[in-house]
Structure 1
Amino acid sequence: MAPHLSPTLVKKVLPGNRLGDEGLALYVHWPFCVSKCPYCDFNSHVRDGVDHEAWRTALLADLAHEAALLPGRRLTSIFFGGGTPSLMEPATVAAVIGAAREAWPASDDIEITLEANPNSVEAARFADLAAAGVNRLSLGLQSFDDAALAFLGRAHSAREGLAALEVAQRHFGRVSFDLIYALPGDDDARWAAMLDRAIALGTEHLSLYELTIEPGTRFASMVAKREFEPLDAERAAELFELTAERTAAAGIPAYEISNHARAGAETRHNLTYWRYGDYAGIGPGAHGRRGGMRTMRHRKPENFLTGVARNGHGLVEEEALSPVEAAREALVMGLRLAEGIDPVALAERIGVERLVDDAAVERLTGHGLLERDGKRLRTTPGGRLLLDSILAEIAA
């Protein structure tokens, strides 16, 4: 997304755009980490100290600004992401949840997720976060192998990760954890063994990410200096297919490219995002989508605080999406999902004549990369390996 730094914020909402008709999700970004992982390109920062009272005040002000622009919506989920949100004081988490519930009527089964790292919290912090209102924890284990954890720059051991998972499962009704695969030297046997161990731990949701070398990260510099060689694309694709087969056989199939869950345990917050619903984003670098508008907050924590103090919010960008832009984003998001999309209904909701090129869809269906199920269109398992190319072909 190209930056739009004009001080004059665009306030126009597209006529006929009905993207806001459904429930609302809230994303809260906490930007601080104990250390920066070498693969991470997220908006995360290491600071010697954090003024928690100042950050609580700023986040509540930023939330109030979004709430004023989205009155009367039904809040379906809250997601604390980062950075490392488990470094937040539980009182701040409770204050944000309380303010969100006051701003919007909440669904009876509202999902409130917080991301945590095993080294950043203890049993007392998990209990306090649950008492604050968090009912789903996403734990960044990343591996069960100490050598892999050291390579990934993680500050916890495999034993510490498993202990944190055990504590989390005692305090939260829903727990998910992340693993990273396709590390240098990965093979079928090693990854299959790790998958089997992950499945046996009894969570209903797993986020399984292929290691990618992102520009600007320390890993990108290391690869450029030939300090290590990433796993080749063909081997990584084989591990992706192995992942899909293994999780499906265990009853936790992929419902999105990297996310796997038992029926009913899918991440509701991310489903709102992938189904192209509205979500308010607050905190440094947070993206949002409301009523046909694309929003973006200041990335640098200090700039965010300054913006909130000056303007009452941390916005740096607010721009109306054209129907073509919205259609492109909705297509990219929707085809990540195993359920796929209803192209006709989605086009109508966005306000475009059509979302996909029917001739291209038929051609790729004939090649076994796409399939139709009634009104819905989705990628096949083989098609998911070529998603970027498929999107370029079928976008109307």
Structure 2
Amino acid sequence: MSTSGAALPAGDRGNGLFGVYVHWPFCAAKCPYCDFNSHVHRGAFDEAGFVAAYAAELAHFAALVPGRTVQSVFFGGGTPSLMQPRSVEAILDAIAAHWQIDRNAEVTLEANPTSVEAERFRGYRAAGVNRVSLGVQSLRDGPLAELGRRHTVDEAVAAVHLAQSIFERSSFDLIYARPRQTLAEWQDELTEALWLAQGHISLYQLTIEMGTRFYDLQRAGKLVMPGEELGAEFYELTQELTARAGLPAYEISNHAVPGQESRHNLLYWRYGEYVGVGPGAHGRLLIGNQRHATAAEKLPFEWHKKVLARGHGLTTDDILTWEEEGDELLVMGLRLREGIDPARFAHLSGRRIADRQVRELQAIGFVETLPNGFLRVTDKGWPVLDAVVADLAA
């Protein structure tokens, strides 16, 4: 495993944020748009044995970064709601055995809104989960089928209501700018969703990723996506409707009533530290004042074998250079409505953002400087965020 990298500047490189990401890779079916590390496994397997492997990997990381306080835990996937509640509880117990847990820690579990998984919600709450994020994806049955989802609209709505009745906080996802979808259809669907949402909603514009079924269909001419201009209109409509409903964007795809933002995702975007455990999980950790980028074996059963053999499933452990840290801060932080602190960028990267580049982007309305000195991307600049980040990083 590589540990190449320059010695980093002196001084504390952290910001006090620390969380744990737990990746559960198994799914009942692979959605045609999904490029996450998810795997369909038929038949029974040793779930308790996998949970023991998570505990072993957590112990490995705890030896590297002792003394932290965990502010958030996120069970992602894959489909974590396929886990037994006792498995979730065992992993949370293992986390608490190694680190202090903040009294206000957010513990989120991603869930699919099928009726079978929804019945487990009370068990997850008893295990320590206090927030769920539901993969609804659409409030229309036809598009749900096209997206490969296994639930109906009625099941989704029932799961959202059940989650809201059991958990302190909840959210759900929708995908828009789908093939053949019109702006009027999305306005109707999003309006319904905003009536249903309580505090938080994630809205993702459909993108076609290499390696997915949708990618193959698009290359074969069997899937026609909205053009760039129409995609921008979808985005603008989304911002308008969510702001009007009191759930403005705090990140490019996430909307919340102020105070209801996802704390775990804010930890990523604010460039905090996080342990990533499980097949394919990534992490960012400060060890000896050097930021390590970690990644684990993606294949679930190969990951399990590696953990049994050596206590962890890591395939990558790279020390980031100054420049890489600065670039990651830009990529993550400029997704946020609050923007980034240029002074922190200078501290991490060893260089300042060029005034000339800032002035040029300000002149065309893509960035602005806030009264607190933070630099943020404007509404006009968000649709071309990648280009803005590239310009500032140059």
The answer to whether the superposition gives a TM-score over 0.5 is: yes
* Secondary structure in structure 2 of the residue aligned to 1:255: strand
CA distance in 2, matches of 1:159, 1:304: 37
* Secondary structure in structure 1 of the residue aligned to 2:225: coil
5 Å-filtered alignment, 1:373-392, equals 373-374=370-371, 375-392=373-390
Q: Does 1:87 align with 2:86?
A: no
Q: Does 1:394 align with 2:389?
A: no
Q: Which residue of structure 1 lines up, in the alignment, with residue 124 of structure 2?
A: 129
Q: Which residue of structure 2 lines up, in the alignment, with residue 309 of structure 1?
A: 308
Q: Which residue of structure 2 lines up, in the alignment, with residue 338 of structure 1?
A: 337
Q: Which residue of structure 1 lines up, in the alignment, with residue 61 of structure 2?
A: 66
* Secondary structure in structure 2 of the residue aligned to 1:19: coil
* Secondary structure in structure 1 of the residue aligned to 2:271: coil
- TM-score normalized by the length of structure 2: 0.95
Q: Which residue of structure 2 lines up, in the alignment, with residue 281 of structure 1?
A: 276
Residue type at the aligned position of 1:37:
C
Q: Which residue of structure 1 lines up, in the alignment, with residue 358 of structure 2?
A: 361
Q: Which residue of structure 1 lines up, in the alignment, with residue 136 of structure 2?
A: 141
5 Å-filtered alignment, 1:208-219, equals 208-219=203-214
* Secondary structure in structure 1 of the residue aligned to 2:298: coil
Q: Which residue of structure 1 lines up, in the alignment, with residue 35 of structure 2?
A: 41
Q: Which residue of structure 2 lines up, in the alignment, with residue 151 of structure 1?
A: 146
Q: Which one of the candidate residues 168, 172, 182 is aligned to 1:177?
A: 172
The number of aligned residues is: 388
* Secondary structure in structure 2 of the residue aligned to 1:200: helix
* Aligned-pair CA distance for 1:122: 4.0
Residue type at the aligned position of 1:363:
E
- Fraction of identical pairs, as percent: 49
CA distance in 2, matches of 1:233, 1:11: 39
CA displacement, residues 96-149 of structure 1 (integer Å, 9 cap, x when unaligned): 111112211111110000000012744431100010000000000000100000
Q: Which residue of structure 2 lines up, in the alignment, with residue 224 of structure 1?
A: 219
CA displacement, residues 72-100 of structure 1 (integer Å, 9 cap, x when unaligned): 11110000000000001111100111111
Following TM superposition, the consecutive aligned residue runs of length 4 or more in structure 1 with deviations greater than 4 angstroms are: 8-13
* Secondary structure in structure 2 of the residue aligned to 1:386: helix
Q: Which residue of structure 2 lines up, in the alignment, with residue 3 of structure 1?
A: none
Q: Which residue of structure 1 lines up, in the alignment, with residue 368 of structure 2?
A: 371
Q: Is the 8 A contact 1:19 1:278 kept in 2?
A: no
Q: Is the 8 A contact 2:325 2:349 kept in 1?
A: no
CA distance in 2, matches of 1:13, 1:43: 32
CA distance in 1, matches of 2:284, 2:141: 39
CA distance in 1, matches of 2:273, 2:183: 39
- Which segments of 5 or more consecutive residues in structure 1 lack a partner in the other structure? 1-5
Distance change (3 Å), C-alpha of 1:55 and 1:139: same
* Aligned-pair CA distance for 1:18: 2.8
Residue type at the aligned position of 2:39:
H
* Aligned-pair CA distance for 1:286: 0.3
* Secondary structure in structure 2 of the residue aligned to 1:296: strand
CA distance in 1, matches of 2:221, 2:365: 38
* Aligned-pair CA distance for 1:378: 0.5
Q: Which one of the candidate residues 247, 259, 262 is aligned to 1:267?
A: 262
Distance change (3 Å), C-alpha of 1:264 and 1:66: same
Q: Which residue of structure 2 lines up, in the alignment, with residue 206 of structure 1?
A: 201
Q: Which residue of structure 1 lines up, in the alignment, with residue 10 of structure 2?
A: 16
* Aligned-pair CA distance for 1:347: 2.0
Distance change (3 Å), C-alpha of 1:245 and 1:186: same
Q: Is the 8 A contact 1:293 1:320 kept in 2?
A: yes
CA distance in 1, matches of 2:38, 2:309: 23
Q: Is the 8 A contact 1:86 1:116 kept in 2?
A: yes
* Aligned-pair CA distance for 1:51: 1.3
Distance change (3 Å), C-alpha of 1:154 and 1:330: same
CA distance in 2, matches of 1:248, 1:240: 12
Q: Which one of the candidate residues 113, 116, 119 is aligned to 1:118?
A: 113
CA distance in 2, matches of 1:362, 1:9: 37
CA distance in 2, matches of 1:232, 1:333: 26
* Secondary structure in structure 2 of the residue aligned to 1:115: strand
CA displacement, residues 327-377 of structure 1 (integer Å, 9 cap, x when unaligned): 0011011100011011113322x15122x2210110110111111113111
Q: Is the 8 A contact 1:347 1:353 kept in 2?
A: yes
* Secondary structure in structure 2 of the residue aligned to 1:79: strand
Distance change (3 Å), C-alpha of 1:302 and 1:140: same
* Secondary structure in structure 2 of the residue aligned to 1:316: strand
- Which segments of 5 or more consecutive residues in structure 2 lack a partner in the other structure? none
CA displacement, residues 2-47 of structure 1 (integer Å, 9 cap, x when unaligned): xxxx4x6569974526333413110000000000000000000000
Q: Which one of the candidate residues 12, 15, 29 is aligned to 2:23?
A: 29
CA distance in 2, matches of 1:68, 1:23: 18
CA distance in 2, matches of 1:262, 1:327: 30
CA displacement, residues 189-225 of structure 1 (integer Å, 9 cap, x when unaligned): 1111111111111411000000000001000001111
Distance change (3 Å), C-alpha of 1:389 and 1:123: closer
Residue type at the aligned position of 1:84:
T
Residue type at the aligned position of 1:295:
T
Q: Is the 8 A contact 2:118 2:162 kept in 1?
A: yes
CA distance in 1, matches of 2:292, 2:7: 6
CA distance in 1, matches of 2:382, 2:105: 30
CA distance in 2, matches of 1:85, 1:17: 38
Q: Is the 8 A contact 1:13 1:320 kept in 2?
A: no
Deviates more, 1:119-128 or 1:270-279: 119-128
Q: Does 1:251 align with 2:250?
A: no
